[in-house]
């Protein structure tokens, strides 16, 4: 299988979050879209109306609510600091169709790339000779292993509040400490697993 050169892969990866931001004005978050879809299925569409409000409206409503609960004295004078609420958290969430289109695009893009490289094939087994040979000795069916792996990924991404796209592509590019730590953990675990598999083979 022919692999892209490292520099071409780097540019392609960097183009993904940049294009996503330019076209949608949102950070890329694959696991976030999965989570949003699951939340929509579990709890229905959000009815909180947060997407209808801008920062000024939120601040005004917040002061009114505070005065009602604690009295006017609870509100302190503030000086303009130039600080603002992250635009992404006051914007209305995207609908399920947008999430589904994005996730379908991932699958179609991967399939198109494999087809162009002439390596497209559908198979139910494990990909990777070393991994298959090591875990094959355990006698566990491949679909069970894949399901277990998927559950581990889902658990980890919810626990870390993001996956390789959110932390690795977007968080790291913004020098966010949590994303730097999370990405180091992703790749560190990958390298460690690779060495462990090599030793077990």
116 in contact with other proteins (CB under 8 A): no
81 in contact with other proteins (CB under 8 A): yes
75 in contact with other proteins (CB under 8 A): yes
Specify the residue, 13 or 67, whose C-beta has the smaller distance to other proteins.
67
Separation between Cα atoms, residue 120 and residue 4, nearest integer Å: 16
Radius of gyration of the chain (CA): 22
Among 1, 41, 45, 68, binds other proteins (CB under 8 A): 68
CB of 31 to other proteins, least distance (A): 13
Among 14, 61, 112, 115, binds other proteins (CB under 8 A): 61
Specify the residue, 71 or 139, whose C-beta has the smaller distance to other proteins.
71
Q: Which stretch binds other proteins (CB under 8 A): 3-11, 18-26, 55-63, 160-168?
A: 55-63
- Specify whether the backbone of 44 is left (phi greater than 0), alpha (psi in -120 to 50) or beta: left
Among 2, 23, 44, 83, binds other proteins (CB under 8 A): 83
Question: For 79-103, b where at least 16 C-beta lie within 10 A, e where not — what string?
Answer: eeeeeeeeeeebeebeeeeebeebe
- Helix 142-159 to helix 30-43 angle, to the nearest 10 degrees? 90
CB of 154 to other proteins, least distance (A): 12
Question: CA quadruple 145, 148, 198, 10: dihedral positive or negative?
Answer: positive
The C-alpha angle with vertex 167 and arms to 38 and 20, in degrees rounded to 5, equals 75
Question: CA quadruple 116, 119, 123, 128: dihedral positive or negative?
Answer: negative
Among 25, 50, 137, 194, binds other proteins (CB under 8 A): 50
Q: How many residues bind to other proteins according to rule CB under 8 A?
A: 38
174 in contact with other proteins (CB under 8 A): no
**Residues at the contact surface with other proteins, assessed by CB under 8 A:** 35-36, 39, 43, 46, 48-50, 52-53, 55, 57-70, 74-78, 81, 83-86, 89-90, 158
């Amino acid at each position: 299988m022919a692999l892209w050169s490292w520099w071409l892969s780097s540019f392609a990866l960097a183009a993904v979050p940049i294009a996503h931001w330019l076209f949608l004005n949102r950070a890329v978050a694959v696991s976030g879209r999965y989570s949003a879809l699951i939340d929509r299925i579990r709890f229905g569409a959000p009815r909180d109306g947060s997407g209808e409000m801008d920062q000024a409206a939120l601040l005004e409503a917040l002061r009114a609510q505070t005065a009602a609960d604690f009295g006017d004295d609870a509100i302190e004078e503030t000086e303009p600091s130039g600080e603002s609420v992250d635009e992404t958290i006051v914007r209305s969430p995207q609908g399920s169709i947008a999430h589904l289109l994005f996730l379908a695009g991932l699958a179609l893009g991967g399939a198109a790339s494999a087809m162009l490289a002439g390596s497209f094939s559908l198979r139910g087994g494990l990909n990777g000779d070393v991994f298959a040979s090591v875990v094959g000795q355990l006698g566990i069916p491949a679909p069970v292993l894949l399901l277990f792996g998927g559950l581990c990924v889902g658990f980890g991404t919810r626990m870390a509040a993001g996956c390789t796209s959110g932390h690795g592509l977007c968080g790291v590019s913004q020098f966010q400490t949590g994303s730097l730590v999370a990405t180091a953990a992703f790749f560190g675990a990958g390298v460690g697993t690779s060495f462990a598999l090599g030793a077990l083979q």
